[in-house]
Amino acid sequence: MRRPRGFSLIELMITVAILAILVAVAYPSYQNHLRKGSRAAAQTFMTEVANKQAQFLLDARNYSVGGTALTALNLTVPPEVSLYYDLTITNSAGGATVSTPPTFTVTATPKSGSRQVADGVLTLTHEGAKTRAGSAGW
């Protein structure tokens, strides 16, 4: 009598099914973890912008706003942020001009098609107010 060697087709199919279930459960969790990491990088950079704005206010008696704000603050957007977010710095009224009294809002808008779209827009104001997708707090 010969002893069977290897696995049967049913055993292999059961193994593949179990692996598929594990992947179906783990992949969304992994994507959520990546989204949180990218959001944290954006939030850290936005806080750095706010700190530089405070220093800029002491020197120039106003905040740096508009398309050249990051250049004026000697900041470059890190790659882990620029891949997923577009950053803008405006006055609190939403404009790119200087306001009286001085204000600013740093806005990180997720790039369309990126994994960060589900997070919504992140904002940070000169008063330290933080919002995510219109809800208070990060």
* pLDDT tens sequence across 98-118: 667 889 999 999 999 999 999
- pTM comes to 0.81
CATH number of 9-136: 3.30.540.20
Residue type present at position 75: L
Q: Mean pLDDT score of the chain, rounded to an integer?
A: 92
The candidate with the shortest Cα–Cα distance to 125, out of 61, 49, 66, 62, is 49
130-132 sheet: strands from edge to edge: 85-90, 105-110, 122-125, 130-132, 135-136
Q: What is the mean pLDDT of residues 46-60?
A: 95
